[in-house]
Amino acid sequence: MRVVHQASPWRSLINPNGQLDTSALVGPLQDLFAKVSAPQLSLTDAYRWQLPLVEALVHYELPAWRISQIISDHNAWLYRQSIALSLNEMRAQAWGEPPADYCVLMLGSAARYESLLGPDQDNALIIGDYPDARHVEIDGYFQALGERFTQRLNEAGIPLCGGHVMARWPMWRKRISEWRRQLEIWSAERQVKRVQQTNILLDFSPVAGNTALAAQLSEGISLTLPPASLFMSEMAVLLNELPVALDCFGRLASSPHLHAPHSDAINLKQQGLLPLISAARLLCVRYRLKEIGTRERLMALYHAANALTKEQSDMLVAAFERLQQRLLDQQRFNKAQGEAADGWVDIRRLREDERLLLKFDLQQIKRFVAIAKA
């Protein structure tokens, strides 16, 4: 059933007497805030109110890209809380204070502040340089920290990464000098796996600890990757692994290898958002731009690098925002039905004009990917 009309809460801001009436406007959030500010709120309870928060924000007619930023802000807070609780627990167990500088990074959509419903964990850890003789002591401390805060997030409702992209694993927990060396190794040859691992690292945002370490990593990326021509070439070739959801006739269609749940489903995350995100990331690395969010990257590619025209940048930003809206709407529908919030969108739920606009957006993304590959 489609709701044909819903009164805007903003229409109640001015009462019939011409006076400002904020009580009617803030009502939907007051009960939520009362629960959120309750003493001794657990991480699980804090994560549980994320869906009601989204529904309240939808009531206020916020677009999906704004809502995704707020979800991401909340996820970042959950990260900081889980890290703080883990550090306090370690102090109580005589581990002491962190033995070196450190910075916890969120990776992926959380780092781009583009989280929607149902994210898993992607994170990493930078440790300040220390003597090799202290490796067992210092790395052991941060391994314990990584295991504890990721387990707390898992218990709260943000599951562990199935691909093991987490600070609890040595691959994603290194000294800053080791991260620089890792980038040199990954970019030295044209190997698919190394490019894929680098792509994961490129979308990062510091969430706890010394942010200067994250700045050093960003500088290392700018110095190391753009000159690595074979690596950059393979990065472009990998865009072929993310075809948009259009068939050879330009019709909406899901790739067979994705195993769609039914014939009218397309994976809008895998075949819409990810090609756009990946192409924007590639071009920003090529032009040494340090923006992380996709909207910011698309705008910087016009303003800072002149790699896109203003029209191209504007259209791609609009396409990105509409795809996020489609996906969030579907995820909210799924949640209401007791189903998982995933990347699939049922195009049977779209009006004809919405299908046409989706097809138009995917066509713009396909052209953009071609620009990035050139």
Rounded-to-integer distance, Cα 220 and Cα 187, Å: 12
Task: Please report, for the domain that includes residue 356, its CATH number.
Answer: 1.20.120
Question: Is residue 14 assigned to a domain?
Answer: no
Question: Would residue 111 count as lying in a domain?
Answer: no
Give the per-residue pLDDT at 1: 36
Q: Residue with structure tokens 């070196």?
A: 100
Matching residue, tokens 């009462």: 15
Instruction: Specify the pLDDT at position 38.
Output: 62
7 in a structural domain:
no
Residue 301 lies in a domain: yes
Residue 82: how many other CB atoms lie within 10 Å: 23
Classified as helix, coil or strand, 343 is coil
* The total number of structural domains that make up the chain: 1
Give the C-alpha distances (Å, rounded to integers) separating 328 from 116, 189, 232, 276.
7, 38, 32, 17
Q: State residue 6's pLDDT score.
A: 60
CA nearest neighbour of 152 among 176, 127, 123, 109: 123
At residue 16, the pLDDT reads: 77
Is position 123 within any domain? no
**Tens digit of pLDDT per residue, the chain (374 long)?**
344 446 677 777 787 777 777 776 777 677 777 666 666 788 999 898 899 999 989 988 899 999 999 999 999 999 999 999 999 999 999 999 999 999 999 999 999 999 999 888 999 999 999 999 999 999 999 999 999 999 999 999 999 999 999 999 999 999 999 999 999 999 998 889 999 999 999 999 999 999 999 999 999 999 999 999 999 999 999 999 999 999 988 899 887 778 888 888 999 999 999 999 999 999 999 999 999 999 999 999 999 988 999 999 999 999 999 999 999 999 999 999 999 899 999 999 999 999 999 999 999 999 999 999 98
pLDDT at site 28: 67
Query: Does 109 map to a domain?
Result: no
Q: Is 345 exposed, middle or buried (0-12, 13-18, 19+ CB in 10 A)?
A: buried
Can you give the pLDDT at residue 262?
Answer: 85
Partners of residue 69 on adjacent β-strands: none
Distances (CA, A) of 47 to 31, 62, 154: 16, 20, 11
pLDDT of residue 24: 67
Question: Does residue 220 lie within any of the structural domains?
Answer: no
**Measuring CA to CA, how many Å separate 200 from each of 108, 163, 197, 204?**
7, 11, 5, 8
pLDDT value of position 248: 87
Residue 356 lies in a domain: yes
pLDDT at 4: 45
pTM as predicted: 0.91
**What's the confidence (pLDDT) of residue 202?**
96
The whole domain housing 253 covers 242-374
